[in-house]
Chain A
Amino acid sequence: MTRITRRGLVAGLGYTAIAGTTGLLAASPEARATILQGGEALSYRTHRLIGRDALVREYSEADMSPDFRTNGNTMPQDDAYQRHLDNGFADWALQVDGLVANPQAFPLDRLRSMPSRTQITRHDCVEGWSAIGKWTGVPLSAVLEAVTPMPAARYVVLHCADSFGLAPYYESIDFVDAYHPQTMLAYGMNDGPLPVGHGAPIRLRVERQLGYKHAKFVMRLELVESLSAIGRGKGGFWEDNSGYEWYAGI
């Protein structure tokens, strides 16, 4: 009889859990939000646990998309950006500041003279399409090493020249992705300079995350301890304004 009672108890608890979770999802918006945010947290922690340093596949030239579509903002309306574009980014410089010992500005020539990397990788949009392109740029780790991050720094925030309405585009990544060997500030695409539609003069390539993390038109890097004071505090334009996940590795 003990066995049957125990079985009955497990069954009762199991059915209560299934019915309870379903009820909470349907009836309580707060519980629903809490449950639904669990997936991102689980995925992020699991991905950080397995293969922190794993590289994405790099393809051959034969695998490249014949036509790499552009989307999102393809021509920033910002006046300062327009002036930089008109004179070929000759006076443009990437500002790097925040929690760093040695804040600096990196003109395009300096970025181009730093160690470079070229990789043919796949770009996956959150909507579902993919395109394969060739990127040339400076590993983000080289830029970070030049400015010496302070021990408290945990995230790299990328401030961009483009905006949707009044909200400027920005994104952020953690240090695991920032120091990943394939994470770069790309200034070249498909053997030419990075086209405006793809984010000239530089864009982020963070190959283990979805397209919206790959900020285009990057103007400034800011190293921070917490994301709460930037934008609306969720770590990126789409995160703040449309509820997309900050961690876009899945």
Chain B
Amino acid sequence: MTEPRTATEPRGTKQVHLAAHFPGVNNTTVWSDPRSGSHIEFDSFTHFAQTAERGLFDFLFLAEGLRLREQHGEIYDLDVVGRPDTFTVLAALAAVTEHLGLAGTINSTFNEPLEVARQFASLDHLSDGRAAWNVVTSWDAFTGQNFRRGGYLPADQRYRRARQFLETAIELWDSWSDDDIVADRESGRFLRRDDAGAFAHRDDQFDISGHFPVPRSPQGRPVIFQAGDSEEGREFAAARADAIFSRHARRDEGRAFYADVKGRLAAHGRTPSDLLILPAATFVLGDTDAEAADLAHDVRLAQVSGQTAIKFLEQLWNRDLSDHDPDGPLPTIDPIPGENTVAQGRASVRIHRDPRDVAAEWRQLADARNLTTRELIIEVTGRQSFVGSAQTVAREINDLVQADASDGFILVPHITPGGLDRFVDEVVPVLQELGVYRTGYPGHTLRENLGLGAPRTANSPVGIG
């Protein structure tokens, strides 16, 4: 099979893209470490963002939560709880960074297109062209209880609304042309045309019209990210996204995903370089590979306490297991299939298969390797992508990128806010020595730094691409 590759990139010199996910509300974040700081205070964000920029990263990424997670009807308290508002933090970070892209997850369910389009266009202006939107869907009634609309959207409509939401937002951004503001004092003409920003959109989700209030921003529109992994999600990304966040940081699944998604682009009139594949990846660095392995083991123990293991088990088993001993074998009773009633507010209960089959596999694995419940959970939830010395980690990252398992990685450190420091100080220079990582920012906007072209618009010349 031929690997997708653009003609201008000879094998071995594909450039690595790096980005950073601010650690927060999930059990990879180790808050119990004495070096762990605030997840809310702006100083933490400043430190993290400035470190990422020192490392010439493409962007900083913020996740989203719109309801505190619950288990058994109680607020889940074992992980970090709480986060600041995405737009507010990103706009403030634009003041303390110069080149770093500012990417935020904003869902398309509990927002309206005009509002979100206005916020991202404003962010793009206020950051001189560094805004990015990770479009996600959410539909559940649990989250809906915090919003006027409630949990009104059936699950089967979530991609439909997301797609139309994004199409509508693009229509709004494109309603102004680059040259609509003339601002000529002498003639008294401010706008080139009276109808700058005019739009009218009608589909089965939205029926809106008027004038979009924000003139065209430096990037034209923010960079669009997409994170879904389903068939629908992959198609959505292939049609519209500039970058896709995947979960597939390992070699074989990464290559399969990469080939699949890049293979879908042609059908949408796009080329493989129009969409970057950026898996989320964790890392643990040591002076030697052996030391890193030891540290990684300690990190896993901190991430998965006995209590955390039980809570995780309950999410699959869909029943109360609070009496279960995490240091003993897996429960002998079976999971309850069907709708999960134990945990709410999680972005993903990732298991789509029958939980009884998953439980059977886990029992086999635990028996074969003589694992306790906690050890088993550590094993099956392990997503530590890179463990080793700086040399080892840099080499592995580069190998995966050159093998087309990804175009780069979104790093998820386990400590806030200093979790990126060592990576930037030690791994980045090795990647630079290998000739696969930039030594300066090549452009001014995020779109330029990601190597993406200017967005095509209704006003662009026809016939290109």
A and B, one complex?
no
Chain B residues near A (Cβ < 8 Å) = none
